[in-house]
Structures are given as structure tokens and as C-alpha cells.
Amino acid sequence: MSGYQLTIDDYSKQNSSKILKKIIFYILLIIIIFLSVYFIIILDTDWHRIGSGASILKQLSYFIGLDVKIMPHLILPAFETFLMACLGTMLGLILSLPVAWLGAKNVTPLGAVSFGFARMLMTISRSVHEIIWALIFVGAVGLGALPGILALAFRSVGFISKIISENIEGADKKPIEAIKAAGGSGFDVMYYGIIPQILPTVIGTIIFEWDINIRRSAVMGLVGAGGLGLAFFRQMHMSNYPGVTTVILFIVGLIVIGEILSHYLRKKII
């Protein structure tokens, strides 16, 4: 009986401890949120410059309306933005394949050295924002679509190669062992044993990354990398607010087209 009573007491103490931990967690969370709002929003905002609600609405009203005259001039930048996403994704895939091969534990050729090197490349690619990549390549190769394509490619390497390498590591070992037992080379193992298993996931990852790159490419022009982002920057610089709204609608339309195409491709290919 005493043992049973002890068990109940222990359960009650554990339950009280969990409740206390939850209370402490929520209190700390509220404190962190309050401090973040206070220091980042309340102290760091110039409230006098914002003005009253009426002045905010007046500023927003400038963006109401469309500049029909610039629409024919946005067709080529929109097409350029779309091509930037396509070429950036393709180049990113090409660069991702060797990185994924080096970053998969079960096929990496030099063990921990090549594995660590590949994982470092994946981390760098994912850690650096595409705008930063674009700034780097604008400084290296000049203005235009090329630095945007290179920025999208280098940004895509981290995600694509990580997904591919993890799928290589998770591949079924039985076909691989059978190919090795039959005297197959490393190429045979990769081509006949691993690629057929990971191909659907790889295709889905590429389509997903291409869909994301359409969004990324739309803002590349803000740093001089061409496309609709450059048109957006020019309209803002000229204070042509209806023109800004027109460019935004073109960007939204391009993203919607990308969503439709990616959905169609996933249904058809995967």
C-alpha cells in the first residue's frame, strides 16, 4: 500500500514539476516577446515621421492606380526574370551533384575530409542570402542578368545538394550490395543502384527550388541583377508610385504562373 502511495506521490510531484516548467517557459517567452517589441519596434521606430493614421492612408493612396504606359516595357524584364530562375536552378543543380556526392556518407570518396568539405559548402550556400550573393557577383561580373543567375545558382546549391545527399544515404542497400557482388564499379552502383531510388525526390526538389527561385529572381534587380526587380527600383527612384504598383502586379502574376507550372509538373513527372 505504501509503495502504491509512493507511486502516486511521485506522479503528483512529476506533474507539478512539469506544470512549473511550463509556467516558467511561458513567462520567459512573454518577457522575450515584450523586450523584442520594446527595443526593436517601440524604441527603434521614428513615430513622429510616421505621423497620424490619415497621413499613412494618404501615403498608401499614392500607390492606387496603374501606369499602363510602362506595361509594354515590363514584358521583357518579366521574361528575363523567368529565365533567370530557370537558368539559376539548372546551374544550381549542376553544381549540387558533386557536392551531394561528396556529402553522402555511404559514397563519399575521401571519408570525413570530403564529407566535411561538402557539408561546409552546403552550410555556406544556405547561410548567405541571395541578395548578398547577388551583391558579390554584381561586384565581380557587373550589372545584368548574369550575376542574378549566379546568385540563384549558389543559393540553390545548399538546399538541392543536402536533399540529394540525404536521399543517397537513405537508399536501400540491397540493390547496391547486389551490384557490388556482381563486380559492378562505383559508377554502376550510382547509376543503377542509387539514382533510380532517389530520382523522384530529386525531381520534386528541383521543381520546388525552381518555384522558389522565381520569387527570388523577382527581387534580384534591386541590387542591379536585372529583371523586374530593376524595373521596380527604377519606378521607386522616379517616385512613380502607380508604376511601382504595376511592377508589383507583374511580379505577382509571374509567381502565380510559376505556381501553376510547378503544380502541373509535379503531377505529370512525379
Judge if 9 and 113 occupy the same domain.
no
51 domain-assigned: no
Angstrom distances, CA of residue 182 to CA of 70, 172, 195: 65, 17, 18
63 domain-assigned: no
Within 10 A of 147 (CB to CB), how many other CB atoms are there? 25
The Cα–Cα gap between 51 and 45 comes to 12
What is the extent of the structural domain holding 90?
68-269
Beta strand extents in 30-125 (DSSP E only):
none
57 domain-assigned: no
Judge if 139 and 40 occupy the same domain.
no
> Taking 60 as the threshold, does the pLDDT of residue 258 lie above it?
yes
Query: Quick check: pTM over 0.85?
Result: no
What mean pLDDT do residues 184-212 have?
A: 85
Judge if 31 and 159 occupy the same domain.
no
Higher local confidence (pLDDT), 120 or 65: 120
C-alpha cell at 215: 520569387
53 domain-assigned: no
Q: Which residue has the cell 557577383?
A: 137
Please count the structural domains in the chain. 2
> Taking 70 as the threshold, does the pLDDT of residue 8 lie above it?
no
Phi/psi at 159 (5° precision): -70, -50
Supply the CATH number for residue 230's domain: 1.10.3720.10
Judge if 89 and 20 occupy the same domain.
no
Instruction: Give the DSSP per-residue string, 115-178.
Output: HHHHHHHHHHHHHS-HHHHHHHHHHHH-SSHHHHHHHHHHHHHHHHHHHHHHHHHTS-HHHHHH
Confidence of residue 62 (pLDDT cuts 50, 70, 90): confident
Angstrom distances, CA of residue 155 to CA of 94, 95, 159: 13, 11, 8
